[in-house]
A and B are shown apart, each in its own frame.
Chain A
Amino acid sequence: MTEQEVIELIDSSLAEEFELDRVDMTPEANIYEELGLDSLDTVDMVIVLEGAFDFKIREEEAVRAIRTLGDIHRFVLEKVADQN
């Protein structure tokens, strides 16, 4: 999977599962303030990413530190790289 494909899979999965508008989904967008997620959504986000990429996310600290969509991209790209 190329970097671009990974990012596309993240964005399309989140857009579908959280009913987000793709127009708003810029890497700089704050997922809580701009995309309207809240702390209760965090677990669902983890489950969506686990399902899309078939890995387990155990990095609770790192997940808690996520603020922007770009943070999610970087987090997943690192995990995908680790897997390979």
Chain B
Amino acid sequence: MHYDSIIIGAGLSGLTCALLLARSGRRVLVLEQHSRPAPVVRGFQRGGIYFDSGFHYAGGLGEGGPLQPLLRHLGLEDKLQLFPYAADGFDRLRIASSGEEYLLPVGFNNIRRYLGEKFPQARSEIALYLDEIVSQWRNFPYLDLNADLADFGMETVHGCSLRERLEVFSAWPELQSLFSMHSLLYGVPPEWASLSLNAQVAGSYYHSVHGIVGGGRRLVDALLVLLAEAGVDICCNAAVSRVLVGEEAVSGVRLQSGDEFPAGEVIATLNPTQLPGLLPASGLRPAYLKRLKNLRQTPSAYIVFASSRQSLEFLRGRNLFMQPRAGVFNPSADQPLEERSFYLAGADQGRDGAIKGLIGIVPAYYEEVSSRQIPEPGRPEGYAAWKTGISDRLLQMFKKCCPELADLELLELATPLTLCDFSRATEGAIYGVGRWLGQYNPHPVTRLPGLFLSGQAVTGPGLLGAMVAGYLTCGSILGHEHLRGELRACR
């Protein structure tokens, strides 16, 4: 079988690329090394509860939001049932040292009003800050359909850092907390995150917040139906070992099994630091390969999946961000577990039933666990005991901060090693390569004709980042004006 385009990786950006290219008339093959497509976004079932492991909640899906035209254009809008998060507070911030709590309401104006009432002395600074977010958050190709495509990303290389920008709120450390907590959703610490990166991610949630009824697996199922209709072939258990290069252009891929698939276009959605290992020595310039290898990953995480006998009503329609002390979020590998900020979400919401599952995410670092890295099967003897020890500490920590979690039972713990092995994330990076200040993230186009990149490293994290990455890459292949024209018709 001859394919026009081969996509490495059946994650959200790979599947988005596959759909767009197939609809443009190409024969498309998606290769996925895992046994099923989109293993991270698909989530899993334990103890009768469905848990999301990649998708939790999305911003920008509301009326007039920038994700709406994308879902409509892909044909997903009619296939997904969305539910709005709590309008009076989609995220709750709790500060352990003082016991204080704040809710972040949905909508820029509501946030402005609520915070203005809570912090009257800071009212004008709050308004200025939110105005800046409003002016920046959609300033990205395919979110703003008129944005300049030439220079996108430069702001996140050279701009002002979030930490710097929040210095103006130093008299109100709780505001610093509220305005920096969403850095947990893109993994770059505020010192290294540009204000514009924070605006893109946090701003989308300030605009509107939704979950998907049935979670990430419904999104994957819907995409797979559309891909089948478009005639895309998806091959799982298919790990690519080589990108083949012919006469100065891509000519296909070779799998670990030895099978080869010829194709004139290869779109690599894997962590770009892994790409140089797939390319022949002469494929691309040393400068570029070195740049890919040196891209900085986001931190990893411990992810707790637990069940509760009581319904976790305090997490219905809103997540909880927990911080030990007020101030700019400042995650670091030096902090003991118990002093880290974390994020809690209720599993499988959007139905009327009780919320029996808890998802807890605590930043973690690969270097904390790398000494335990031994290829499965055959983790060292103390491994299970070590994991139990970590789980116990994390559950204790959750219960201490949240009396609502009195009877939790651990079902599963993902560690940075799990993220490494299961998600194939370099160093267990929870959001892959991040957009760090001073770092030039790769562009979808490479100098090797036919070789393209996609995935969150070229844009940003989340459903929004992955989908926009798909559009950006396919726009580079099919013509941006063509794709943007189609999207304009879907507004």
Most buried by A among B154, B158, B285: B285
User: Which residues of A25-77 are within 8 A (CB) of B?
Assistant: 38, 40-41, 43-48, 56, 58, 60
Instruction: Name 20 interchain pairs, CB-CB below 8 A, sorted by A.
Output: A17-B285, A17-B287, A18-B287, A19-B285, A19-B286, A38-B447, A40-B443, A40-B446, A41-B285, A41-B287, A41-B288, A44-B285, A44-B287, A44-B288, A44-B291, A45-B287, A47-B291, A47-B440, A48-B287, A58-B158
Pair B286/A17 contact, Cβ less than 8 Å: yes
Nearest B residue to A44, CB-CB = B287
Q: How many A-B contacts if CB must be within 8 Å?
A: 37
Complex Cα distance, B155 from A60, in Å, reads 11
Instruction: Flag whether B372 is at the interface (Cβ < 8 A).
Output: no
From 140 to 184 in chain B, residues with beta carbon under 8 angstroms from any chain A beta carbon are 151, 154, 158
Nearest first, the 5 closest Cβ-Cβ pairs linking A and B are: A17-B287, A44-B287, A43-B440, A17-B286, A58-B158
Chain B residues closer than 8 Å to A3, beta-carbon distance: none
Separation of A17 and B286 alpha carbons in the complex (Å)? 5
B447 touches A60 (CB 8 A): no
Q: Is the CB of A60 within 8 A of B287?
A: no
Rounded to whole Å, the gap between the CB of A24 and the closest CB of chain B is 15
**Which of the residues B154, B290, B445 comes within 8 Å of A40, measured between beta carbons?**
B445
B438 proximal to A (CB < 8 A) = yes
Given A38-B447, A44-B291, A58-B158, are A18 and B438 also a contact pair (CB < 8 Å)? no
Within the complex, what minimum Cβ distance (angstroms) separates A55 from chain B?
A: 11
Contacts of B445 in A (CB 8 A): 40
Q: How far is the CB of A75 from chain B (nearest CB, A)?
A: 17
Task: Pick from B154, B287, B446 the residue with the most CB of A within 10 Å.
Answer: B287
Q: Which A residues lie at the B interface, using CB under 8 A?
A: 16-19, 38, 40-41, 43-48, 56, 58, 60
Which residue on chain A has the smallest CB distance to residue B442?
A: A43
Q: Is the CB of B438 within 8 A of A56?
A: yes
Contact code string B332-372 (vs A, CB < 8 Å = 1, else 0): 00000000000000000000000000000000000000000
With known contacts A47-B291, A47-B440, A60-B154, A40–B286 Cβ distance under 8 A: no
B residues less than 8 Å from A60 (CB atoms): 151, 154, 158
Q: How far is the CA of A56 from the CA of B159 in the complex (A)?
A: 13
Give A58 to B438 CA distance when docked, in angstroms: 9
A22 to chain B, nearest CB (A): 15
Q: How far is the CB of B109 from chain A (nearest CB, A)?
A: 35
Bound CA span A43–B441, Å: 10
Contact A47 B287 (CB under 8 A): yes
B287 touches A40 (CB 8 A): no
- A48: chain B residues within 8 A (beta carbon): 287
| A60 CB → nearest B CB, Å | 7
Q: Digit string of B438-474 for contact with A (CB within 8 Å is 1, else 0)?
A: 1010010111000000000000000000000000000
20 further A-B pairs in the complex, CB-CB below 8 A; given A40-B445, A44-B287: A17-B285, A17-B286, A17-B290, A18-B285, A18-B287, A19-B285, A40-B446, A41-B285, A41-B287, A41-B447, A43-B443, A44-B285, A44-B288, A45-B287, A46-B440, A47-B287, A47-B440, A48-B287, A56-B438, A60-B158
Q: Separation in Å of the A32 CB from the closest CB of chain B?
A: 13
Q: What is the CB-to-nearest-CB distance from A66 to chain B, in angstroms, rounded to a whole number? A: 15
B284-324 CB contacts (< 8 Å) to partner A: 285-288, 290-291
Chain A residues whose CB sits within 8 angstroms of the CB of B287 once the complex forms: 17-18, 41, 44-45, 47-48
Collect the chain A residues with CB atoms within 8 Å of residue B440's CB.
43, 46-47
**Cα of A45 to Cα of B447 in the assembled complex, Å:** 14
A45 to B151, CA, bound (A): 17
Q: Tell me the nearest residue of chain A to B153, going by C-beta.
A: A43
For the complex, what is the distance from the CA of A56 to the CA of B291, rounded to whole Å? Answer: 15
- Most interface-central of A16, A44, A45 (chain B CB within 10 A): A44
Q: In the assembly, what is the distance between CA of A17 and CA of B446, in Å? A: 16
Alpha-carbon distance A46/B285, docked complex (angstroms): 14
Q: Across the two chains, which residue of chain A brings its CB closest to B445?
A: A40
Q: B437 CB to closest chain A CB, in angstroms? A: 10
Q: What residues of chain B lie closer than 8 Å to A43, measured between beta carbons?
A: 291, 440, 443
**Least CB distance, B452 to chain A, in whole angstroms:** 12
Docked Cα-Cα span, A18 to B290, in Å, equals 11
Contact in complex: A16, B286 (CB < 8 Å): yes
Residue of B nearest to A57 (CB): B158
When C-beta atoms are compared, the residue in chain A nearest to B443 turns out to be A40
Residues in B whose Cβ lies below 8 Å from that of A17: 285-287, 290
- Taking CB atoms, residues of chain B closer than 8 Å to A58 are 158
CA distance A19 to B446 in the complex (A): 17
Shortest A71–chain B CB gap in Å is 18
List of B residues within 8 angstroms of A46 by Cβ:
440
A41–B448 CA distance with the chains assembled, in angstroms: 12
Let me know if B291 and A40 touch, CB within 8 A: no
**Nearest-Cβ distance from residue B314 to partner chain A, whole angstroms:** 45
Q: How far is the CB of A62 from chain B (nearest CB, A)?
A: 13
Nearest chain B CB to A14 CB, angstrom units: 8
CA distance A65 to B62 in the complex (A): 43
- Bound Cα distance from A40 to B151, whole angstroms: 12
* Residue of B whose beta carbon sits closest to that of A58: B158
Chain B residues whose C-beta falls within 8 Å of the C-beta of A19 in the assembled complex:
285-286
User: CA separation between A44 and B287, bound complex, in Å?
Assistant: 6
